[in-house]
């Protein structure tokens, strides 16, 4: 796992003179927003009938939501009809099936520790976008040597483009595992 502090030099390229503590705090915020908007931290877990279907959540993370659930035959179950999900990440199956697989995502907690281990793949692919997100909020800080409102908007747009790219990647990866529903024509 990679620590967010490794991205501080990228933030300093964008915001000259920023203090390390400020850079790390804004990187943590950018990472949280990036993960929440992109649904990049997707997971899957399989359960057997009768097992308590409590989803595994990583340390310093919270349950984000369920994307879809497949039964033992690989058919997609309908939320509210075949299964329900609690706020804490427990899945309750109402359909009779020998096993089921849950595809879900997690998000980082609001208050992350300074030595937080971030997702390696996300950091290696989207480091510049995360630095842009941190820079966009840092540049809005009043009365600092790095305050620059115009550049802030530029970095904010780059950050949004980054989590949109990551969202598309995450959805495409999920769609490869999701069965296609047959269309009914009348």
Q: Model confidence over 117-135: pLDDT tens digits?
A: 899 999 999 999 999 999 9
Confidence of residue 46 (pLDDT cuts 50, 70, 90): very high
E strand map for 32-183 = 42-48, 53-54, 61-71, 83-85, 90-93, 99-108, 117-118
Query: 25 pLDDT exceeds 80?
Result: yes
What is the pLDDT, as a whole number, of residue 14? 93
The pLDDT of 66-91, averaged and rounded, is 92
Q: Quick check: 34 and 108 in contact, CB under 8 A? A: no
Query: 149 pLDDT exceeds 90?
Result: no
Question: What are 49's two structure tokens?
Answer: 């009938």
In 3D space, the residue among 116, 97, 142, 89 whose CA is nearest the CA of residue 5 turns out to be 116
What is the pLDDT, as a whole number, of residue 164? 97
């Amino acid at each position: 796992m990679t620590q967010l502090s490794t991205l501080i030099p990228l933030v300093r390229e964008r915001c000259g003179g920023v203090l390390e503590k400020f850079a790390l705090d804004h990187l943590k915020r950018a990472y949280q927003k990036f993960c929440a908007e992109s649904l990049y931290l997707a997971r899957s877990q399989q359960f057997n009938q009768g097992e308590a279907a409590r989803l595994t959540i990583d340390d310093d993370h919270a349950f984000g939501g369920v994307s879809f659930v497949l039964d033992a035959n690989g058919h997609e179950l309908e939320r509210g009809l075949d299964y329900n999900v609690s706020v804490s990440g427990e899945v309750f199956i109402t359909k009779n099936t020998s096993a089921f697989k849950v595809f879900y995502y997690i998000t980082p907690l609001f208050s992350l520790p300074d030595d937080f281990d971030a997702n390696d793949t996300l950091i290696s692919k989207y480091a510049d976008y995360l630095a842009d997100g941190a820079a966009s909020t840092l540049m809005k800080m009043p009365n600092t040597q790095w305050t620059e409102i115009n550049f802030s908007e530029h970095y904010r747009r780059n950050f949004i483009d980054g989590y949109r790219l990551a969202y598309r990647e995450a959805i495409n990866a999920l769609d490869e595992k999701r069965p296609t529903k047959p269309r009914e024509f009348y």
